Structure 1
Amino acid sequence: MNAYRSKSLSFPWPPLVYSLAVIAALYLKQDYPVYLPHLWALIAWGIGALLTIVAVTLNVWAVKTLIDSRTTVLTQRCTAHLVTKGPFRFTRNPTYLGYTLLMAGLGLMIGNVWFVAMAAVAAALTTLLVIRCEEMHLLSRFGCEFEFYCRRTRRWL
């Protein structure tokens, strides 16, 4: 494979995957409602608010780090540099982690626990459809440097 021609994705899968997960969660809530007792609903709202704040902060930090490193934010474009600083020191996929936490957090805040389940499904699909492709792209572009990065940094957390 020519490293200079390889692209991580030809279609922006993450927005589609997470959008379909939201739609599925809304549908499941309508047909199979799950209600939390009042006290648990308050606790869930607090946890959801915290997760939402963490998710938004993580995504903004990740995008800023990519821009500062002068590489693309879009998954369909070839990356110019292997970014290993900022949130990428802790997770190889901070934006996808942020999407997952945001979905779970918003679900807890609105009282739809199906959002939490669908966030896990979306994360699994993102790993299969997106992350593995992106990792092959990064491996072809950066070789051993990317392998060393993978050894010291987890894919999700």
Structure 2
Amino acid sequence: MKNDTAGIIAPPPLIYAAGLAAGLLSHAALPFHIPSSTLAVALGLCLIGVGILLAVAGFRTMGRAHTNVNPYEPTTALATDGPFRFTRNPLYLSLTLLYGGIALFANLPWAILLLPIVLLIMRRGVIDREERYLEQKFGEDYLRYKRSVRRWL
């Protein structure tokens, strides 16, 4: 727990952006298209919209809890209401929805294929570290929350 933070490997938005960039570069090197459809574009836009709404709700909830959103600053309180009642990681879920929505909307199948790798990096390099940090910092309060709310949905 260096400097009272989780010691994550990189900012989560950067991890997702790197995955999209890798998908875009892969697409440029080895073009691979799925026939575009109105349904894929509409689904992509819906995922983007839900991702934005979930992010806003998560940021507001963390603000009301008076805790830091920046993972490089100490967590000062547990946020357990709002979207945190349904998922322990609403901001990461929102990034996943945004990533998927952008990949569908832009017809980037390589980015979709890379999403499991992005999620694995998030799990090992961010979420597992944050969960250990929160267990150490908040003890039984966090463990009780962890038992009652799923990591994703």
Q: Please list every run of 5 or more consecutive structure 1 residues that lacks an aligned counterpart in the other structure.
A: none
Identity of aligned residues (%): 33
Distance 1:10 1:54 in 2: 26
2 CA distance for matches of 1:120 and 1:15? 16
Aligned 1:45-56 pairs, distance under 5 A? 45-56=41-52
Alpha-carbon distance change, 108 to 10 in structure 1, aligned in 2, over 3 angstroms: closer
Q: Distance in 2 between matches of 1:117 and 1:92?
A: 25
> Hey, what does 1:129 align to over in structure 2?
125
Provide the rounded CA distance (Å) in 1 between the counterparts of 2:84 and 2:64.
Answer: 13
Residue from 83, 87, 90 that aligns with 1:91: 87
Deviation at 1:87, TM superposition (A): 0.7
Q: Do 1:22 and 1:115's aligned partners in 2 also have CA atoms closer than 8 Å? A: yes
1:21 correspondence with 2:13: no
| SS in structure 2 at match of 1:83 | coil
Task: For residues 31-82 of structure 1, give each alpha carbon's deviation from its aligned partner in whole angstroms, at most 9, with x where no partner exists.
Answer: 22222234xx221111111100010000111001101111101001111111
Equivalent residues in 2 for 1:70-149, closer than 5 Å: 70-149=66-145
Question: Which whole-Å CA distance do the structure 2 matches of 1:107 and 1:56 have between them?
Answer: 15
The answer as to whether partners of 1:12 and 1:75 remain within 8 angstroms in 2 is no
Count of equivalent residues? 153
Aligned equivalents of 1:47, 1:34: Cα separation in 2: 20
Taking the aligned partners of 1:86 and 1:128, their CA distance within structure 2 comes to 26
On the 8 A contact 1:25/1:112 being kept in 2, the answer is: yes
Can you give the 5+ residue segments of structure 2 that lack an aligned partner in the other structure?
none
> How far is the alpha carbon of 1:10 from its aligned partner?
6.0
User: Is contact 1:25–1:114 with CA below 8 Å preserved after alignment?
Assistant: yes
Partner secondary structure for residue 71 of structure 1:
coil
The one-letter code of the counterpart of 1:89 is R
With over 3 angstroms needed to count, the CA separation of the structure-2 counterparts of 1:153 and 1:88, relative to structure 1, is same
How far did residue 16 of structure 1 move? Answer: 2.8
Which of structure 1's runs of 4+ aligned residues deviate more than 6 A? none
CA RMSD of aligned residues (A): 1.8
TM-score with structure 2 setting the length: 0.91
